[in-house]
Chains A and B, each alone.
Chain A
Amino acid sequence: MHLDHPETYPQRYSHPSPATALSGKHPAPTSSSAPTVRPDGTRRALRIGLGGPVGSGKTATVAAICRQLRDELSIAVVTNDIYTREDAEFLLRNAVLPAERITAVETGACPHTAIRDDISANLEAVEDLEETVGPLDLVLVESGGDNLTATFSKGLVDAQIFVIDVAGGDKIPRKGGPGVSTADLLVVNKTDLAPLVGADLGVMARDARTQRGELPVAFTSLTEPDGIAPVIGWVRERLAGWTAAAA
């Protein structure tokens, strides 16, 4: 398992301003168009979206991130289940966060609409969490299991993770699609299953690189101790960038 590139890369579809382009620096590590300041003047939490096909391990990834970071950060989660509350209840059952830090948003059978075309319900859920349990450092917005074209609006999240798994077939990175090719981090999960399903991790890494260029890829096996480590490393970089941008 490895994290391809330690440094933070420019966000998808965001172009450096002339000033940063000239200085050769990366743009600020956020591409979100959502205001960064809350009504009371404080800086809002960093928002990270997690998308990907059904069963690839989005909820397990969210749970692992929460377990790892909850003692040092104030975290909340918004779930967008196709069927209401299943994911929220998984997180509650496994007690990764107190109940008041988890909100489920209903998506009317269209999970991608709620994270991309009409983000109003999700924005409200995020803002309500900041209001009721805040101040928060990190809000994770988990999309309902969807297809390879689902991506988060920049009006909702600052960065997005796309989670696929080796059991879905090692050809998924080659197929591409907006999730695979443009997400800020591609997570290839369940690497422990690779020998069992005949998936070639080398092929997946190569195809991902073809689709994504320099954007990072993390291979994870959440059944292993600290299997979430590469994702945590990436989240920490994002948080550092978010905090630095505030200073």
Chain B
Amino acid sequence: MTITTTAPANRAALLVLADGRFPAGGHAHSGGAEAAVAAGRLYDATSLEAFCRGRLDTAGLVAAALAAAAAAGVDPLLLDEAADARTPSPALRATARKLGRQMMRAARACWPSPVLDALAAARPRGAHQPVVLGVTASAAGLGPLDAAHAAAYEAVSGPATAAVRLLSLDPFDATAVLARLAPDLDRVAQQAVDSARLALDSDVDALPAASAPLLEIAAERHAAWPVRLFAS
């Protein structure tokens, strides 16, 4: 029996970046789960899985592709505009920039880099979070596939954590949902990298523009709630 001893470069840095405790503000966001719970669409582990699958193949794929392209060296400011174009809801655009700014703060503390400084200077109010994530990944010595994995995982881990808090869902059930999604996360990450490669060779229009209208509409309504637990 042979044991593979070579790991992708800087694998441990990916663990740091993708850790749910990475202090970049994600804990206060439900990724649409709070609105879905209130609407009765998310109520148990099965519906959580369906919600996560839907989010992964839409918002998750777009985020992963943006992150991968940023890590691959596509101009982050062009990607930031591409992210705007792919986010119809003003509330979600504001959320993405807010989280991008928070990610930037953590990123510059962890992996100081002129690329991060330049993006922070160009977008002092925050660039879209997946773009910042991708630039962060490259500052951490990670590649496009790593960035895509981190973005894709975040797209489903946020709602799963929120569902545990909102529904008192069994945390083992919620985490099992994430484990079942792992092959799909790998698939989406690969898909994201393929499109990032196209974007690098042509332009950002090559990136996916998958959209989940219900997530966008619900986010607008959620942002107007007078009382809520999560920021989005």
| Given A83-B227, A83-B229, A108-B102 contact (CB < 8 Å) | no
Q: B226 in the interface, Cβ–Cβ < 8 Å?
A: yes
Q: In the complex, which residue of chain B has the Cβ closest to the Cβ of A106?
A: B231
Q: In the complex, which residue of chain A has the Cβ closest to the Cβ of B164?
A: A109
Contact with A along B180-202 (1 / 0, CB 8 A): 00000000000000000000000
**Which residues in A have their C-beta under 8 angstroms from that of B30?**
108
Give the B interface residue count (CB, 8 A): 23
Q: B166 in the interface, Cβ–Cβ < 8 Å?
A: yes
Which of the candidate stretches B18-26, B38-46, B49-57, B64-72 sits at the interface with the other chain? B18-26
> Are A108 and B28 within 8 A (Cβ)?
yes
Q: A120 in the interface, Cβ–Cβ < 8 Å?
A: yes
**Can you report 10 residue pairs joining A to B where beta carbons are below 8 Å apart?**
A83-B229, A84-B229, A107-B229, A108-B27, A108-B230, A108-B231, A118-B21, A118-B25, A120-B105, A124-B102
Q: B29 in the interface, Cβ–Cβ < 8 Å?
A: yes
A121 partner, pick from B25, B162, B227, beta carbons under 8 A: B25
In the bound complex, what is the Cα–Cα distance between A107 and B228 (angstroms)?
Answer: 10
Q: B101 in the interface, Cβ–Cβ < 8 Å?
A: yes
Contact with B along A110-123 (1 / 0, CB 8 A): 10011001111101
**Which residues in A have their C-beta under 8 angstroms from that of B165?**
108-110
> Are B226 and A85 within 8 A (Cβ)?
yes
Q: Which of A49-100 contact B (CB under 8 A)?
A: 82-86
In the bound complex, what is the Cα–Cα distance between A110 and B102 (angstroms)?
Answer: 17
> Are A123 and B228 within 8 A (Cβ)?
no
**Which residues in B have their C-beta under 8 angstroms from that of A123?**
105
State the Cβ distance, B165 to closest chain A Cβ, in Å. Answer: 4
| Given A120-B102, A120-B105, A123-B105, A113-B27 contact (CB < 8 Å) | yes
**Which residues in A have their C-beta under 8 angstroms from that of B27?**
108, 110, 113-114, 117-118
In the bound complex, what is the Cα–Cα distance between A105 and B102 (angstroms)?
Answer: 13
**Which residues in A have their C-beta under 8 angstroms from that of B229?**
82-84, 106-109
State the Cβ distance, B92 to closest chain A Cβ, in Å. Answer: 15
State the Cβ distance, A211 to closest chain B Cβ, in Å. Answer: 29
Q: In the complex, which residue of chain A has the Cβ closest to the Cβ of B229?
A: A109
Q: B106 in the interface, Cβ–Cβ < 8 Å?
A: yes
In the bound complex, what is the Cα–Cα distance between A85 and B229 (angstroms)?
Answer: 10
Q: In the complex, which residue of chain A has the Cβ closest to the Cβ of B104?
A: A120
**Which residues in B have their C-beta under 8 angstroms from that of A124?**
98, 101-102, 105
**Which residues in A have their C-beta under 8 angstroms from that of B106?**
120
- Give the top 6 A-B pairs by smallest Cβ distance, nearest first: A108-B28, A120-B102, A106-B231, A118-B23, A109-B229, A109-B165
**Which residues in B have their C-beta under 8 angstroms from that of A113?**
27-28
In the bound complex, what is the Cα–Cα distance between A113 and B23 (angstroms)?
Answer: 9
**Which residues in B have their C-beta under 8 angstroms from that of A119?**
23
Q: Which of A103-152 contact B (CB under 8 A)?
A: 105-110, 113-114, 117-121, 123-124
In the bound complex, what is the Cα–Cα distance between A84 and B28 (angstroms)?
Answer: 11
**Which residues in A have their C-beta under 8 angstroms from that of B98?**
121, 124
State the Cβ distance, A175 to closest chain B Cβ, in Å. Answer: 26
**Which residues in B have their C-beta under 8 angstroms from that of A82?**
229
In the bound complex, what is the Cα–Cα distance between A121 and B98 (angstroms)?
Answer: 8
**Which residues in B have their C-beta under 8 angstroms from that of A84?**
226-229
| Given A108-B165, A120-B106, A123-B105, A114-B28 contact (CB < 8 Å) | yes
Q: In the complex, which residue of chain A has the Cβ closest to the Cβ of B106?
A: A120
